[in-house]
């Protein structure tokens, strides 16, 4: 859903939320999903159970009708993206969304066909700060992948 | 575009403009649009034997352009 904040609506059936630290820390909505069940943190499901969200669908917990997957920040790029996520208001509820440049970088790093398509759409429709993006790509060794996907 | 009439070129340009317009919608409107996409895709996916569940968010009218819930 993170990409959809910047682009036309894109089909997805679940909501990935990156989290840091304890279940009390806030997370941010991400665009690409990270299909590694090992990163699913049991603590978050336990915390949600305490709030009455008992139903699970695969790796997701059903929250108010939406399957949500919590993903621990799994590398320095994701940690940085979370630190620099922007706070928005979603119908009077504060939420955090990754910067579009970080979404592009995470897509490059994840590297699936689906991510390549997301990068194409983000380049077309999102306002990308090219200097900021270049810096992120350089620091996370993603420049070659960027060239491969965009040239 | 080679081999494409002016009318078809105009249609393609209008489609592209539509996508750009959708990209500028407020985020809650986009969420409603995603829910509509889920409903549309779910019918096809279920016919292929894939179980998917469109979101059921209380108070969300799934028509894009509808008023936001209070």
Residues of A whose CB is below 8 A from B54: 13
Cβ-Cβ contacts under 8 Å between A and B: the total is: 54
| Run means of pLDDT, 10 residues per run, chain A, 151 residues | 96 90 54 45 81 88 91 93 94 93 98 96 96 98 97 89
CB A51 within 8 A of CB A58: no
The pLDDT of residue A58 is 82
Q: Do A66 and B23 touch (CB under 8 A)?
A: no
Q: pLDDT tens digits for B3-54? A: 889 999 999 999 999 999 999 999 999 999 999 999 999 999 999 999 888 9
- What is the band of B55 on the pLDDT scale with cuts at 50, 70, 90? very high
Complex ipTM above 0.90?
Answer: no
Burial class (CB in 10 A: 0-12, 13-18, 19+), A73: buried
Position B66 pLDDT exceeds 50: no
Residues of A whose CB is below 8 A from B56: 65
Nearest residue to A140 (alpha-carbon basis) of A115, A97, A100, A110? A110
Q: With the C-alpha atoms ordered B41, B37, A146, A143, is the resulting torsion angle positive or negative? A: negative
Position B67 pLDDT exceeds 60: no
Q: Do A11 and B22 touch (CB under 8 A)?
A: no
Q: With the C-alpha atoms ordered B49, B55, B58, B62, is the resulting torsion angle positive or negative? A: negative
A66 inside 8 A of chain B by CB: yes
Helix (H, G, I), strand (E, B) or coil at A96: strand
Name the residue among A8, A13, A67 with its Cβ closest to that of B23.
A8
Q: Do A64 and B53 touch (CB under 8 A)?
A: no
CB A17 within 8 A of CB A68: yes
Q: What is the mean pLDDT of chain B?
A: 85
The pLDDT of residue A34 is 47
The domain segmentation of chain B, as residue ranges, is 27-55
Helix (H, G, I), strand (E, B) or coil at A99: coil
The pLDDT of residue A36 is 45
The pLDDT of residue A137 is 98
The pLDDT of residue A57 is 83
* Distance (Å, whole) CA B60 – CA B12: 32
B34 inside 8 A of chain A by CB: yes
Beta bridge partners of A60: A57
Helix (H, G, I), strand (E, B) or coil at B40: helix
């Amino acid at each position: 859903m993170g990409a959809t904040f910047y682009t036309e609506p894109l089909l997805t059936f679940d909501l990935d939320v990156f989290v840091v630290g304890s279940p009390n820390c806030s997370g941010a909505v991400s665009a690409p999903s990270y299909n590694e069940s090992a990163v699913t943190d049991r603590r978050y499901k336990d915390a949600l159970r305490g709030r009455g969200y008992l139903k699970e669908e695969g790796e997701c917990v059903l929250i108010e009708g939406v399957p949500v997957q919590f993903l621990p920040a799994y590398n320095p790029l994701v940690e940085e993206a979370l630190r620099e996520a922007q706070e928005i208001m979603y119908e009077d509820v504060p939420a955090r969304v990754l910067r579009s440049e970080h979404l592009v970088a995470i897509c490059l790093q994840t590297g699936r066909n689906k991510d390549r398509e997301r990068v194409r759409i983000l380049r077309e429709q999102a306002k990308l700060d090219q200097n900021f993006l270049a810096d992120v790509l350089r620091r996370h060794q993603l420049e070659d992948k960027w060239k491969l996907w965009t040239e | 575009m080679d081999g494409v009439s002016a009318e078809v070129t105009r249609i393609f340009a209008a489609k592209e403009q539509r996508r750009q317009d959708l990209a500028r919608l407020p985020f809650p409107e986009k969420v409603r649009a995603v829910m509509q996409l889920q409903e549309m895709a779910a019918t096809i996916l279920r016919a292929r034997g894939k179980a998917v569940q469109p979101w059921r968010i209380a108070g969300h009218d799934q028509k894009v352009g509808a008023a936001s819930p209070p």
